[in-house]
Amino acid sequence: MGPILEVADLKKRAKRRVPKMFFDYADSGSWTESTYRANESDYNEVKLRQRVAVDMTNRSLATTMVGQDVSMPVALAPVGFCGMQWADGEILAAQAAEEFGVPFTLSTMSICSIEDVAENTTKPFWFQLYVMRDRDFVNNLIDRAKAAGCSALVVTLDLQILGQRHKDLRNGLSAPPKFTPKHLWQIGTCPSWCMAMAQTKRRTFRNIVGHAKGVSNLSSLSAWTAEQFDPTLSWNDIAWIKERWGGPVILKGILDPEDAKKAVDSGADAIIVSNHGGRQLDGAPSSIRALPAIVDAVSDKMEVHVDGGIRSGQDILKAVCLGAKSTYVGRPFLYGLGTQGKAGVARMFEIMRTELDTTMALCGERKVTELGRSNLYSAFGEKFG
C-alpha cells in the first residue's frame, strides 16, 4: 500500500486489519454524524500566516500540561474498547506515549485495567473517570488510580446519557461484544488481529469486572453498564471528586463559554473543549469552532485544552494558535494501533511531530509556546495577523 506518510494512510491500513464492528466503533459519530465530520473539516477554515526570511533554527515543541512537561502539545485521549482495536491496546499505546514524552489517558471503559497499564509502564499516566450511579465503585476507581500513581484525573461530563450511534446498532456491537456468525466472519477476515487477541487474557472491561458490585462475568457486566451512567451528575459532584483525588483535575466535554466559567468556579485545573468526538450531541459545533470563545472567556483563569478532529500536526498548530494550551488525539492513535500495534502509535507520533515542527517553522516561529492568533491569517470569518 505504499509508505505511511500521513494519518490517513494509517486509517486505510487499520480498516483492513481490525474487525469491522471494532473499527466502526472508533470511526463513527452519533445520528447523522454531522458534528463528527465538522470536527475534521472545520480545521480547513483556519488559515495560516506564512512568514519568510526569519531564523528557523533551534526550534522547540516542548510545553507543559497541568504542570507536567510534555515533548509536544499532545496527549492521547481516553478511548473505550481500545484493547479491542488491538490486543493489549491500552498498554501498547501507553508505552508509545511514555517513550515519546506525552501523557496517555486510560478510559474507565478500557479493556486493560488501571493495574495492567501501571504494571507495564514506568511513568505516571492519566485516568479518565466516568461518574456512575454506584458511588462506591467510583470512589474505588479513584483510589485505584491514586494507588497506580496516575498523575491527573480527567472527568468526562458529557456522557450522562448515551448518544445513539447507528453504526454500532447496525453492527450489533454490545458491551461486552456478542459473537454472532456475522461477527465471527468479520473476525475471521483479520488473521493478524486474531493471532494477537489469542495471546492475551485481556478481553473484557477489566476496570469493572471483579470490582463493581455484582459484576463477576460478561453477562452481569452487560446489565451493569446499561444502567450505570448517572444522569444526575452536576457541578456539585466536582467538589467531592477533587477532594477524593487530591491532584490535578481536568474536566472533559466543555463546549460552551458559560459551562467553561462554571468549570473555573468548580476549582478544576483545566478543561477540554470537546464534543466527545461527535459521538454525543449531533448538530453541536465542532470543537475547533467552539474553542476561541471559550479561550476568551476563561484562559486567564485555567488551562484550556481541546480534542476532536485533529488529524495532523497542522491541526495541532491551529488549535494552539487559537489559544489551546494543548490538544488530545484519539482516532489517529487507534488507526496506528490497528495498523502496527505499538509501532503504529509511534509512527503516528512521528508524523504529527514532523508536520507540527515544519509548519511552525514556515509560520516563522521557533517555540510552540509562542504561537498565537497573530500566526493566523483568518479563522471562521475573523481576520488576524
Q: Count of residues for the chain? A: 385
Q: Alpha carbon 37 to chain centroid distance?
A: 16
Contact 168, 28 (CB under 8 A): yes
Strands 382-383 and 376-379: antiparallel
Q: What is the DSSP string of 363-374?
A: TT-SBGGG--GG
Q: What amino acid occupies position 208?
A: I
Vertex 184: Cα angle to 183 and 185 (nearest 5): 90
Q: Render 14-37 in DSSP notation, one character per residue.
A: HHHHS-HHHHHHHS--STT-HHHH
Closest to 153 (Cα-Cα) out of 115, 109, 118, 106? 106
| Residue among 166, 183, 276, 305 flagged as catalytic | 276
Q: Work out the end-to-end distance of the chain between its first and last CA atoms, rounded to an integer number of angstroms.
A: 41
User: In this structure, what are the phi and psi dihedrals at residue 242, rounded to the nearest 5 degrees?
Assistant: -60, -45
- Helix (H) or strand (E) run with residue 53 in it: none
276 is catalytic: yes
Please say whether the beta carbons of 304 and 324 come within 8 A. yes
The cell for 22 is 471494532
> What are the C-alpha distances in Å from 383 to residues 15, 64, 70, 298, 370?
39, 28, 31, 22, 19
Collect all residues with Cβ–Cβ distance below 8 Å to 209 and sequence separation of at least 6. 215, 216, 217, 218, 221
Whether the CB-CB separation of 270 and 260 falls below 8 Å is answered with no
Q: What angle do CA 88, 175, 343 make, to 5 degrees?
A: 20
Active site residues: 276
